[in-house]
Structure 1
């Protein structure tokens, strides 16, 4: 999905960390930007992956989309998800990143959201403690701006909207967009420092909920589309890394 980001998605790549390419799909999916307000665009792309040749143990699968932006730059967004390959947890090796695997023990169940932009480095956010089963009582997460100097780290609860390509999703309850006390904001977080975020799930309706974290870069850049493109651009722009997951409350 391209959320308020006019560009053309030209490649969908799948990597096993630390960067072994296992499949690449060419794309030519354009999110239009010929109107005062750019569109939010979403597509379904069917993919099959053969895990037969993957090494055993915990492996990080990176789902990476490469976009060409309206001002002629390259932008990539990635989600990094741990998979247990040819083993049954907890009897799996730690893989390349033993502190961020799929095992819920010791808050290691983890995902990473990444962004990369021309002339900028990665801007990453990491969420540890993701539940792998329905939750009740208090849920505790560790969240970090894991790469890229950050001006702020934000955590959002139940902030979502309809995504056309997804179709019927397990709907979040009709709560206010970010309930009272949310979002949580941590200013100028040191790179890699975990911040503890707790959620009292007894205050939430049973059912599906979502949590997202966003790491906004300290250094900004100016888009050449300020005058050349037919939509509103506010300079400077700031790169962000975003990770999001859904969880099921059952109190």
Structure 2
């Protein structure tokens, strides 16, 4: 079903969620790297949800620093390029941790690649305990394996942590039938199925992530990260977004 911007009528309330954002979301208007005011703004959005008592997991991409697929396309060996991209996600996770802790939110960066001097290794039961103690858990270094995106890592960790939904923060307020930034007549989906996302190539997440979410009946909420209060508003049953489901 397609709608032209009307919010979903049914309130959406979750107690444990995964927030997936791209590395590019942290660079603001810059063309590269981290933009501290933008990092702080996103941290403030996370705090408003944390203040509701919601347990929050996060996965942040690394494309603002290095993207493995692009490195591979330029002649670098793919596995090496992907590992470099994983290290970029650790840098972004540490930046977000610093911003959240400046707001008084206890945060743990948990890496799929052990680097004990800067963050914790991934141990599922320990991560679950952090969430139960209302600490924000930022999962870094993807799955720890090349050839897998941070979309897939977010879906994997969301399932392992028993999250009730993945919140995919983007530049637009949902899933459209075409890019709304290029086509003024683009129409937004209020809800869309996993299979429609795959069949129509809607670009919500990569195919592996969508298939993993579908197989575990894990809904994906696509919303605008640039809309102030948007993340918190959806949890209160407000705002505009697209729900991807079975």
- Tell me the TM-score normalized by structure 1: 0.28
Select the structure with the greater relative contact order (CA < 8 A; seq sep ≥ 6).
Answer: 2
Pick the structure with more strand per residue: 1
Pick the structure with more helix per residue: 2
Which structure's CA Rg is the greater one?
A: 1
